[in-house]
Chains A and B, each alone.
Chain A
Amino acid sequence: EAQVTQNPRYLITVTGKKLTVTCSQNMNHEYMSWYRQDPGLGLRQIYYSMNVEVTDKGDVPEGYKVSRKEKRNFPLILESPSPNQTSLYFCASSRDRRELFFGEGSRLTVL
């Protein structure tokens, strides 16, 4: 089954404790992207990757890091999380950057 898998789905952490949200896709897509979704603000792109070892900033990259060492994986790293990073996070992949396949989402709370 074609899918994008994110983990963890739910996480409560404390300010400053580094965390990684993993994302993996099995569709051989070159394009992958991370979004955060906050009430009233819609989807905002954090980082995206056009291919292995190619990443670029989206609209809200501050406080986040990504890497793309393998085509299928695109982890999101929060080096020192802060409460304003409490949000719902989605990973997505695509063959053409337009028709996106989303993971189920990761709800992060930073205390």
Chain B
Amino acid sequence: QKEVEQNSGPLSVPEGAIASLNCTYSDRGSQSFFWYRQYSGKSPELIMFIYSNGDKEDGRFTAQLNKASQYVSLLIRDSQPSDSATYLCAAFGGNYQLIWGAGTKLIIKP
């Protein structure tokens, strides 16, 4: 069973600090990885994707990928209360479908 694992949280981070969200995956055939943000009662929206080992930065967000360790992370710098949401990690598997983690709930405390 191909899986994507995330800590369900909640992860509580003070405003202005760095939030670090982590994800591991089991399918070594996965080539691309995605972070979706889901506000309570809303639909998921794509915020970052990463295909290559290393870091990818987009504004306050940095995605990190380590294929050898099968590990993906999302860093949010200068966290804001508006970043409070559930973050879903997804891997594009060898079966050409997204494999989803259950999500990590992030709470940014003012």
Residues of A within 8 A of B (CB): 40-45, 48, 58, 90, 97-100, 102-105
Contact = CB atoms under 8 A, between A and B. Distances in A.
Contacts, number: 42
B32 A98 contact: yes
A41 B46 CA distance: 19
B92 interface: yes
B45 A102 contact: yes
B72 to A, nearest CB: 14
Interface string B71-108: 00000000000000000100010001110111100000
A100 B49 CA distance: 12
Contact of B34 (A44, A99, A102, A105): A99
A99 B98 CA distance: 10
Contacts of A90: 43-44
B49 A99 contact: yes
Contact of B97 (A40, A97, A104, A105): A97
Contacts of B46: 99-100
B98 to A, nearest CB: 7
